[in-house]
Amino acid sequence: MEAAHVEHAGINLKPSARLHEESPAEAPMEVGKTVGNIEVEDPIFRCRDVDVYYGEKHAIKKVGVDIGKNQVLAMIGPSGCGKSTFLRCLNRMNDTVPNARVVGSIVLDGKDIHDKKQDVVQLRARVGMVFQKPNPFPKSIYENVAYGPRIHGLAGDRVELDEIVHNSLQRAGLWEEVKDRLAQPGTSLSGGQQQRLCIARTIAVNPEVILMDEPCSALDPIATARIEDLMEELRQSYAIVIVTHSMQQAARVSQRTAYFHLGDLIEVGETDRIFTNPRHKLTEDYITGRFG
Ligand code: ADP
């Protein structure tokens, strides 16, 4: 079927000719059952029936989705719909939130991350996280990147550590800008550079997955574009999950998109398809700006 072709800020947002209008059987209007394909071949993460409660509040409900290797999954939806909550499940950051209770199956590379034998520090090295506001340690640029490899014993000597720091900064696209000032504080860098430093710090411990919680929302458009370019490079080596409030950003950086609404995962699928041909009415309302 032909996709609609109206461009708005780089995304096709035409609210007509959607699949759901022509295939109502495929388009349940009720929430509670995710529309689209939650599975991918050979996933790095397989999440099923994930519920999160904050005390009495049921923040996410029976969420099931796979996260593919070497691709970016964007999570979009109105504020408060549970995107960050779900992201924080993936490296057990909700363990640190008082009152939070996570139920369900979250399997990383064949093993449930809630297994008693799972070391949470190791998990967070495998599944690194980049936050909304760049948060370098109050240490030098070098030490920000060297810290993780040192505590995880990844370098045998100083030469190896120097190499890890160099490679990580290089891969984060920051080396040329900082190679002559490695001893200066990480906080002396610009916001965009600090965010790339945080990415270098994350990749220094050889993660498999990088979680990003609105990583560009504190950055200007040029710094944002650099991070987005970097994501395209990084996905060659890692799986990336990004929470973004920007649909344009989701459309630019991701291969798959997941739309959340009031704690339900409403729809998931290939990004191009979600933005040109959403199957669920709630997804369509959101991406056409009727809700949000
Ligand atoms: P999003 O990332 O989509 O904006 P969140 O995951 O931050 O949504 O929040 C989902 C729901 O859970 C919201 O209703 C929010 O108020 C609630 N929530 C988030 N964090 C906490 C917390 N630490 N304690 C209690 N409720 C929380």
Residue-wise pLDDT tens digits, 134-163: 999 999 999 999 999 999 999 999 999 999
Tell me if 80 CB under 6 Å of ligand 1: yes
Tokens of 105: 């199956």
Tell me if 67 CB under 6 Å of ligand 1: no
Is 32 a residue whose pLDDT tops 80? no
Q: What domains can be seen in the chain, in order of their start residue? A: 7-287 (3.40.50.300)
Give the model confidence (pLDDT) of 170-218 as tens digits.
999 999 999 999 999 999 999 999 999 999 999 999 999 999 999 999 9
Q: Is 273 helix (H, G, I), strand (E, B) or coil?
A: helix
The dihedral region occupied by 34, where left means phi > 0, alpha psi between -120 and 50, and beta the remainder, is beta
Is 23 a residue whose pLDDT tops 60? no
pLDDT value of residue 83: 98
Ligand 1 pocket test, pick from 50, 51, 54, 212 with the greatest ligand atom count within 8 Å of Cβ, gives: 54
Q: Are 204 and 175 in contact (CB under 8 A)?
A: no
Tell me if 83 CB under 6 Å of ligand 1: yes
Q: Name the helix (H) or strand (E) containing 183.
A: none
Tell me if 94 CB under 6 Å of ligand 1: no
* CA 79 to centroid of ligand 1, rounded, Å: 9
Instruction: Return the CA Rg of the chain.
Output: 20
pLDDT value of residue 292: 59
pTM of the prediction?
A: 0.90
Give the model confidence (pLDDT) of 73-99 as tens digits.
999 999 999 999 999 999 999 999 999
pLDDT value of residue 132: 95
Tell me if 59 CB under 6 Å of ligand 1: yes
Angle at the Cα of 97 (from 91 to 99), degrees rounded to 5? Answer: 125
pLDDT value of residue 290: 84
* CA 259 to centroid of ligand 1, rounded, Å: 16
CA distance 123 to 55: 25
User: Helix %, strand %, coil % for the chain, to 5?
Assistant: 35, 25, 40
Residue 115 has a CB neighbour count (10 Å cut-off) of 10
pLDDT value of residue 4: 42
Tell me if 288 CB under 6 Å of ligand 1: no
